[in-house]
Amino acid sequence: MVTSLFAALLALIYFKISFDTIKARSKNKVSLGTGPEELIAPYVSAHSNFSSYVPILLILTYFVENSELIQDLFIYLIASAYTLGRILHYKAMTSNQMNFKLRRIGMMMTLFPLNILALTNIFIFIKVNFL
């Protein structure tokens, strides 16, 4: 049930990101795209980025958890890392001036867990089917 907790937390974060993007669209009167001077590009990009990474992270997390071969502590740590990574990335993208250091940390805290989860799922597959 660890995955369901993080899915719920990430859904609340996604709500916040969506709300901020809608607010930026309304404030700048931009209904599609990023506007004539890309006024809301950071919000649109952060929203899109979040919605691209989170589903695959949660799916991979669910498969690891469902295998019952990996301890819950690992799942808590990896899910906490990518959840924090998604928050940091959003903060970096939408601050008054792009914070590239924070953005890089947020992406590393997303991409490393993604790779770890992918490799863990491959390990589980091999263990269950061949060992």
Does the pLDDT value for residue 37 go beyond 90?
no
Q: What is the CATH number of the domain that holds 112?
A: 1.20.120.550
pLDDT band, very low/low/confident/very high, at 39 (cuts 50, 70, 90): confident
Predicted local confidence at residue 103, as pLDDT: 96
4-30: average pLDDT:
96
Q: Select from 72, 103, 98 the least CA-distant residue to 86.
A: 103
Does the pLDDT value for residue 94 go beyond 90?
yes
Q: How far, in Å, are 17, 81, 92 from residue 4 at the CA level?
A: 20, 16, 26
Number of domains in the chain: 1
Taking the model in full, what pTM does it have? 0.94
Please say whether the dihedral angle defined by the alpha carbons of residues 89, 90, 93 and 96, taken in this order, is positive or negative. negative
What's the maximum distance between 2 C-alpha atoms anywhere in the chain? 59
List the domain range (segments joined by +) for residue 98: 2-130
